[in-house]
Amino acid sequence: MKVIVDQSKCVASGQCVLSAPEVFDQREEDGIVVLLAENPPEGLAGAVRQAVALCPAQAIWVEEQGDEQ
């Protein structure tokens, strides 16, 4: 799983951080998403998918392994 964020779409809601704090953080100055782990461990996949689903700006998505062929 590869996590991709588009900071230009982010509205700083923080839902990603609440769902997967090991993978996402927010910038101090404006709350925009910061990606901590582009390739998180499989054990965090459910939390990352929840973050994707909860993001109101659709600024996060994942590529599953094998998608980049």
Alpha helix positions (H), the chain:
15-19, 45-54
Q: Where are the domains of the chain?
A: 2-63
Least Cα distance to 52 among 60, 44, 43, 41 occurs for: 60
pTM: 0.91
Confidence class for position 65, pLDDT limits 50, 70, 90: confident
Phi, psi of 68 (to 5 degrees): -95, 70
pLDDT tens sequence across 3-54: 999 999 999 999 999 999 999 999 999 999 999 999 999 999 999 999 999 9
Distance of CA 18 to the CA centre of its chain: 11
Record: fold of 2-63: Alpha-Beta Plaits (3.30.70)
Q: Which amino acid is at 6?
A: D
Q: How far apart are CA 58 and CA 69, in angstroms?
A: 24
| Structure confidence at residue 69 as a pLDDT band (50, 70, 90) | very low
